């Protein structure tokens, strides 16, 4: 019998998700994760951690993919980390063709970042309620989840705000259950998504100036966000149930740093 606590991380093939997986494995969790386009990275992780890490294909923009995913048949998730998401630039990678309209990109953004997590939660909810014990962590963003910033696609902030609201609604419905719900809102984190939306547009000197203007004068590292995800999976995190946590090193309380 497997007595390990099982965790599901959506979007775990790279970036914050990958760092979360590596940390959770080191702490003894049986870690499952989903991937959409990063199949090679997913397979590599599974080879690196045989019988400890398990990958599942999932397209957050496709309800059929959510409803037929094998992970939904696992009855006893200890924790679910909703991490799969796209940003203002990375959403273009999900376009069907180069002529995809702005409206279609906005629709994809809302499906992946907000409607997909809603559908997945509905799919997993019966077992979560039955077991009456789980840690659910939604990874949103300081942009939309905490504050607003100019220069990003409108649907980016909208979708992240919607995700934060979804987490609040689920938390409200579980104040008397054994299910704990949290929202974590990272700031300027050195991931491929933030590079695509912001950093790749800058010259080396512009990037240096940009970083110097950030709170603490540095980029957040994915490992730092993974650290707090792991902390929220601990029993003591119950006192933070319902919290929307600003993990931006101060950017959320002083958005002018991004001007």
Confidence of residue 258 (pLDDT cuts 50, 70, 90): low
- Separation between Cα atoms, residue 72 and residue 57, nearest integer Å: 12
CATH of 6-258, one of 3.20.20.105, 3.40.720.10, 3.40.50.720, 3.50.50.60: 3.40.50.720
Question: What is the DSSP secondary structure assignment for residue 5, as one 8-state letter?
Answer: P
pLDDT tens, position by position, 188-242: 999 888 888 889 999 999 999 999 999 999 999 999 999 999 999 999 999 999 9
pLDDT tens, position by position, 93-110: 766 666 788 899 999 999
Q: What is the mean predicted confidence (pLDDT) over 161-176?
A: 97
Distances 180 to 170, 210, 235 between C-alpha atoms, Å: 9, 37, 10
pLDDT tens, position by position, 32-59: 999 988 889 999 999 999 999 999 999 9
Closest CA to 225 of 49, 30, 83: 83
- Separation between Cα atoms, residue 108 and residue 163, nearest integer Å: 14
Report pTM: 0.93
**Under DSSP, is residue 47 helix (H, G, I), strand (E, B) or coil?**
helix
Q: Give the chain's mean pLDDT.
A: 92
pLDDT score, position 147: 93
Closest CA to 123 of 181, 174, 44, 62: 62
pLDDT score, position 45: 95
Q: Is the model's pLDDT at 257 over the cut of 60?
A: no
pLDDT score, position 173: 97
Q: Is the model's pLDDT at 88 over the cut of 90?
A: no
Q: Is the model's pLDDT at 61 over the cut of 60?
A: yes
Q: Where are the domains of the chain?
A: 6-258
Q: What is the mean predicted confidence (pLDDT) over 67-89?
A: 87
pLDDT score, position 1: 38
């Amino acid at each position: 019998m497997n007595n390990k606590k099982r965790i599901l991380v959506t979007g775990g093939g790279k970036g914050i998700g990958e760092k979360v997986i590596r940390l959770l494995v080191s702490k003894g969790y049986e870690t499952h994760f989903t991937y959409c386009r990063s199949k090679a990275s997913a397979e590599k992780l599974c080879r690196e951690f045989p019988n400890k890490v398990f990958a599942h294909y999932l397209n957050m923009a496709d309800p059929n993919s959510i409803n037929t995913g094998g992970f939904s048949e696992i009855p006893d998730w200890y924790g679910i980390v909703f991490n799969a998401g796209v940003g203002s630039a990375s959403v273009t990678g999900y376009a069907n063709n180069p002529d995809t309209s702005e409206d279609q990109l906005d629709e994809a953004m809302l499906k992946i970042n907000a409607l997909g997590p809603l559908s997945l939660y509905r799919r997993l909810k019966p077992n979560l309620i039955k077991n009456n014990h789980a840690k659910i962590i939604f990874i949103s963003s300081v942009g939309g989840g905490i504050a607003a910033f100019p220069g990003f696609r409108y649907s980016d902030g909208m979708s992240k705000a919607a995700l934060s609201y979804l987490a609040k609604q689920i938390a409200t419905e579980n104040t008397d259950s054994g299910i704990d719900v949290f929202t974590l809102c990272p700031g300027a984190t050195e991931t491929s998504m933030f590079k695509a939306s912001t950093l790749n547009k800058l010259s080396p000197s512009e990037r240096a100036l940009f970083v110097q203007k950030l709170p603490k004068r540095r980029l957040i590292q994915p490992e730092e966000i993974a650290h707090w995800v792991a902390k929220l999976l601990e029993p003591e995190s119950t006192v933070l149930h319902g919290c929307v946590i600003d993990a931006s090193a101060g950017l959320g309380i002083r958005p002018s740093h991004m001007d």
